[in-house]
Chains A and B, each alone.
Chain A
Amino acid sequence: MHLRAADLACRRGGREVFAGVDFAVGAGEALAVTGRNGAGKSSLLRLVAGYIRPAGGRLWLDGGDPELSIAEQAHYLGHQDAVKPSLSVAENLRFWVAFLGGGASKVEDVLESIGLGGIAALPAAYLSAGQRRRLSIARLVAVKRPIWLLDEPASTLDAAGSDRLAGFMQSHLADGGLIVAATHGALGLNSIQELSLDRSDHIRAAQAHPAAEASS
């Protein structure tokens, strides 16, 4: 399975965010999307998830399920955690497992593995930001989907949480999954490709203001 993009371009609010982006991620591979704030990391992920239509270029999946769109084979972990405060921790996860379909492992086991086992019955309103993020990550583990689109996955996690996330990502890659992650920090993965969205901008900025590149 290969997720490929050729000459991908994105426009938001009439402004070009990025253009001419190429990448190929295969099964068992991870791609880290880097760049300054506003470089279009989140936009690229939302584009792959099908929320935004590309302004140009092509995005396709080789060797996936031809009956399903890329989004239907992907997990999207955005800035928001999609956790309902009035439902309990287990109810939240159970809903996503039922809705997204194909959950093989038990909800209780998944919560245990992410470190929320003791508070499964607690209403999610009482969770901290890091715990909500853990609950959100539990969804990726509970429902098997080959593509993970992660937007700053470790932003609110503590060190132990980041370690667990790295472990989940490793075993996802080992199972033949692929990961596209927007990140500023290290993801804790052994082998990872990097896609910098700054590059094209730098060239343009350097042409316009020769001093800009030195200061950025």
Chain B
Amino acid sequence: MNPLTALLLRDMRIAVRVGGSALIGVLFFVVVVTLTPFAVGPDLALLKRIGPAILWLGALLASLLALDRLFASDHEDGSLDLILTGRAPLELVIAAKGLAHWLTTAVPLIIAAPLIGLLLDVEAPAQSGLVLTLLVGTPALTFIGIIGAAIAVSLRRGGLLLAIIVLPLTVPVLIFGVAAANAAVTGPAPFGTPFTVLCALTLASVVVGPFAAAAALRLDIE
């Protein structure tokens, strides 16, 4: 088996086992979004207007939730040392770990989004647009987040630092993701423009993220 496939499968297997991060992320997302109608009240017009923003915020926080363990758990048990003695380039190793994280935390959340979108009065025709923005935008959140995860790897309470480093960097993704989702749900602004920028942000972060994270990890390990 290819080393990267093996790593991808291992990380996914750990995520879906007991104590893994997959279920926690999607449950957190569902809870945050479900609480919103209770906090805002039964104003359907208002809920519809803020719905995409709430879904996106929920997705952002949920994908950040498990990210601090991405390298830290491998660092603590010595796996990271051994991964570095592997023959696969560190950048690709990080990309594989990022992909595993996205598949186990973001994908369940994207599947749950249409269902709990109903709570925010996001109806069926608009849902496909909303789901599409999450599908295209969440890889950017993961691959920006892995930079912070790599920087915070050797810190005992890295989670907080991770949030401080990563959240400002995700602002552009949030702006264009919500803009595209709003266009799909309420209109009348065009969907295409923010959606294209969102695609560009994702592509750029998938390229830059692994390189930046690899550089940070090499420094950290020393």
Question: Which of B74-82, B115-123, B127-135, B186-194 interfaces with chain A?
Answer: B74-82
Contact A68–B87 (Cβ < 8 Å):
yes
Chain B's closest residue to A149 (CB) is: B85
Contact B84–A50 (Cβ < 8 Å):
yes
The interface centre, meaning the residue of A52, A71, A80, A91 with most chain B CB atoms within 10 A of its CB, is: A80
B3 to chain A, nearest CB (A): 5
A82 and B13 in contact (CB under 8 A), knowing A98-B1, A99-B7? no
> Which B residues lie within 8 Å of A87 (CB)?
10, 13-14, 17
Number of interface residues of B (CB under 8 A): 27
B6 at the binding interface (Cβ < 8 Å): yes
Query: Complex: how many Å from CA A95 to CA B100?
Result: 15
> Which A residues lie within 8 Å of B19 (CB)?
86
Contact A79–B78 (Cβ < 8 Å):
yes
Contact A95–B10 (Cβ < 8 Å):
yes
A100 to chain B, nearest CB (A): 6
Chain B's closest residue to A132 (CB) is: B77
A1 to chain B, nearest CB (A): 17
A15 to chain B, nearest CB (A): 15
Choose among B1, B17, B78 the residue that contacts A82 (Cβ–Cβ < 8 A).
B78
B8 to chain A, nearest CB (A): 11
Query: Complex: how many Å from CA A71 to CA B85?
Result: 5
> Which B residues lie within 8 Å of A101 (CB)?
3, 86-87
The interface centre, meaning the residue of B13, B76, B78, B85 with most chain A CB atoms within 10 A of its CB, is: B85
B20 at the binding interface (Cβ < 8 Å): yes
A100 and B82 in contact (CB under 8 A), knowing A51-B221, A51-B222, A52-B222? yes
Chain A's closest residue to B74 (CB) is: A82
A100 and B85 in contact (CB under 8 A), knowing A86-B19, A87-B10? yes
Query: Complex: how many Å from CA A2 to CA B40?
Result: 71
Can you list, as one digit per residue, whether each of A93-119 has a CB less than 8 Å from chain B (1) or not (0)? 001101111000000000000000000
Contact B85–A74 (Cβ < 8 Å):
yes
Can you list, as one digit per residue, whether each of B78-112 has a CB less than 8 Å from chain A (1) or not (0)? 11011111111000000000000000000000000
A113 to chain B, nearest CB (A): 20
A150 to chain B, nearest CB (A): 13
> Which A residues lie within 8 Å of B17 (CB)?
86-87
The interface centre, meaning the residue of A51, A52, A78 with most chain B CB atoms within 10 A of its CB, is: A51
> Which A residues lie within 8 Å of B78 (CB)?
78-82
B1-37: which have CB < 8 Å to A?
Answer: 1-3, 5-7, 10, 13-14, 17-20
Query: Complex: how many Å from CA A84 to CA B87?
Result: 21
Give me 17 other A-B pairs in contact (C-beta within 8 A), A82-B78, A96-B82 excluded: A49-B81, A51-B81, A80-B78, A84-B10, A84-B77, A84-B79, A86-B13, A86-B14, A86-B19, A99-B3, A99-B10, A99-B83, A99-B88, A100-B3, A100-B85, A100-B86, A101-B87
B binding-site residues for A, Cβ under 8 Å: 1-3, 5-7, 10, 13-14, 17-20, 76-79, 81-88, 221-222
User: 4 nearest interchain CB pairs?
Assistant: A80-B78, A98-B6, A86-B17, A82-B78
